[in-house]
A and B are shown apart, each in its own frame.
Chain A
């Protein structure tokens, strides 16, 4: 029994919520009725918490490409990238991503989580290298650091000054140094001053790794992410991303201007020891990437929706975590209130994410909305109406209540 005792406290809450049919972490989408709609508990619900930023999950070209690949190459690769599961499609996608980003090299992983886990754990070695990570980095970056076993130092969120101070403490040390940040942080939707970070990192002979999971396809004139928007594509060292958000599939990648990235193919364990992405996944990503490359007005539609939501929420007086971004978070005073507010929105037919400590910055509790280019006028109206009702019902979600 000793093995399970540590779970008991959390399990009591989890099971009680599940038994009451109110567990935010066990929501089932019974039927998908479109890129922004699903049936939840038998009811048509607007999806505003799925990171489907470009709304390409039902893109006809992506679906057709996946269907063709399924017929031509089968359901799965039954092999790993390293040993027996690299198909022509994997290599083609790597070339297309590298070309789009303007880098020499790219590696495709089976998930975005594994891309960061694999690259960071392979790049840094215990006793030889030091990792510097933004305090608000995603769990996969923390896990990559842990798997590497290398000394890891946190710096204050989005503070090049804090990084500079910490790197300075190691000046003269011959160890390899890797700084990890994200383009857009997914809890608040705030973005990093990437170019400033690159300048600080390079001044201390450190490399810069930028995770653009939530910003690829969304930021920058050509959709290359916050690094492009910050005019830093040519100065960052490693660029990681995922296929499970803007590219509407599953998988991940790391690209670099350093040819040595290729060494990770025989050193990154999360790349070597897991099955490669299926042909259908890869085919749909390649089709979706074409949409990102062509622009196609998708980003404009997304940003129109972002501004509509953010503007309305500000008018309601809701406490917003950051400037307009594809993630719009409303802060609540604690977990209990966040849970009630989340439930309130679901009852209004709007699904968002609830996020609570320790997975959030500064131990905040929040409701996270992910905007989609595919949100229709009807979707936007429904979501805004629900948030308006929320602002009326939850005074403590409004700025005025905290003054």
Chain B
């Protein structure tokens, strides 16, 4: 995506981020005890105790929901829900 297009997409970033965030939370909830409030800062491993494969499975759901390709390599570098949202959002923009 060109710099110009990225700027054009600017205003839609926040609501779309929120949509991705809510989508991820919806997929995470069945895997958690329900006693942790999910925020952007929630740590996937230390707080939610979600294993690495489950996170990859969630990413696969996101790939199909938005018809984008999310490499495993990108996900292995994310720790919090917010970082995962940001990584997915960036890929969405690049592949738009």
Interface residues of A in 137-172 (CB under 8 A from B): 142, 145-146, 149, 151-156, 165-166, 169-170
Are A154 and B68 also in contact (CB < 8 A) when A357-B51, A358-B51, A363-B51 are? no
Chain A residues with Cβ below 8 Å from B31 are 363
Chain B residues with Cβ below 8 Å from A146 are 76
Question: Which one, B52, B63, B72, contacts A152 given CB within 8 A?
Answer: B72
Interface residues of A in 112-147 (CB under 8 A from B): 135, 142, 145-146
Interface flag for B64 (CB, 8 Å): yes
Question: Which one, A149, A155, A363, contacts B54 given CB within 8 A?
Answer: A363
Give the distance in Å from the alpha carbon of A207 to the alpha carbon of B31 in the complex.
Answer: 35
Q: Give 14 A-B pairs besides A135-B56, A363-B31 with Cβ atoms closer than 8 angstroms.
A: A149-B73, A152-B72, A152-B73, A153-B69, A153-B70, A154-B59, A154-B72, A169-B68, A169-B69, A357-B51, A357-B54, A358-B52, A358-B54, A363-B54
Chain B residues with Cβ below 8 Å from A165 are 64
- Nearest chain B residue, comparing its CB with the CB of A133: B72
Chain A residues with Cβ below 8 Å from B52 are 358
Q: How many residues of A contact B (CB 8 A)?
A: 19
Question: Which one, A142, A153, A156, contacts B71 given CB within 8 A?
Answer: A153
Of B56, B57, B76, which is in contact with the most chain A CB atoms at under 10 Å from its CB?
B57
Question: Which one, B51, B54, B69, B95, contacts A166 given CB within 8 A?
Answer: B69
- Nearest chain B residue, comparing its CB with the CB of A156: B60
Chain B residues with Cβ below 8 Å from A166 are 63, 69
Chain B residues with Cβ below 8 Å from A358 are 51-54
Chain A residues with Cβ below 8 Å from B63 are 166
Chain A residues with Cβ below 8 Å from B60 are 135, 154-156
Interface flag for B16 (CB, 8 Å): no
CB distance from B34 to the nearest CB of A (A): 17
Q: Is the interface of B mostly helix, strand, loop or mixed?
A: helix
Give the distance in Å from the alpha carbon of A169 to the alpha carbon of B63 in the complex.
Answer: 11
Give the distance in Å from the alpha carbon of A358 to the alpha carbon of B73 in the complex.
Answer: 18
A sample of 10 cross-chain residue pairs with beta-carbon separation below 8 angstroms, ordered by A number, consists of A135-B57, A135-B60, A151-B71, A152-B71, A153-B70, A153-B72, A155-B60, A169-B67, A363-B53, A363-B54
When the two chains form their complex, are residues B73 and A151 in contact, meaning their CB atoms are under 8 A apart?
Answer: yes
Task: Encode B56-96 as 1/0 by CB contact (under 8 A) with A.
Answer: 11011001100111111100100000000000000000010
- Nearest chain B residue, comparing its CB with the CB of A166: B69
Q: Footprint of A on B, CB under 8 Å?
A: 31, 51-54, 56-57, 59-60, 63-64, 67-73, 76, 95
- Nearest chain A residue, comparing its CB with the CB of B67: A169
Task: Encode A162-195 as 1/0 by CB contact (under 8 A) with B.
Answer: 0001100110000000000000000000000000
Give the distance in Å from the alpha carbon of A74 to the alpha carbon of B63 in the complex.
Answer: 54
CB distance from B1 to the nearest CB of A (A): 15
Chain A residues with Cβ below 8 Å from B51 are 357-358, 363
CB distance from A327 to the nearest CB of B (A): 19
CB distance from A123 to the nearest CB of B (A): 16
Give the distance in Å from the alpha carbon of A152 to the alpha carbon of B73 in the complex.
Answer: 6
Question: Which one, A151, A154, A357, contacts B56 given CB within 8 A?
Answer: A154
Chain A residues with Cβ below 8 Å from B71 are 151-153
- Nearest chain A residue, comparing its CB with the CB of B55: A358
Task: Encode A288-305 as 1/0 by CB contact (under 8 A) with B.
Answer: 000000000000000000
When the two chains form their complex, are residues A357 and B73 in contact, meaning their CB atoms are under 8 A apart?
Answer: no
Chain A residues with Cβ below 8 Å from B72 are 142, 145, 152-154
CB distance from A377 to the nearest CB of B (A): 39
| Smallest CB-CB A-B distances: 4 pairs | A358-B51, A152-B72, A358-B53, A151-B71
When the two chains form their complex, are residues A170 and B69 in contact, meaning their CB atoms are under 8 A apart?
Answer: yes
- Nearest chain B residue, comparing its CB with the CB of A363: B54
Give the distance in Å from the alpha carbon of A12 to the alpha carbon of B63 in the complex.
Answer: 37
Give the distance in Å from the alpha carbon of A153 to the alpha carbon of B59 in the complex.
Answer: 10
- Nearest chain B residue, comparing its CB with the CB of A361: B53
CB distance from B59 to the nearest CB of A (A): 8
Give the distance in Å from the alpha carbon of A169 to the alpha carbon of B70 in the complex.
Answer: 11
Give the distance in Å from the alpha carbon of A153 to the alpha carbon of B57 in the complex.
Answer: 12
CB distance from A46 to the nearest CB of B (A): 31
CB distance from A151 to the nearest CB of B (A): 4
Give the distance in Å from the alpha carbon of A166 to the alpha carbon of B60 in the complex.
Answer: 10
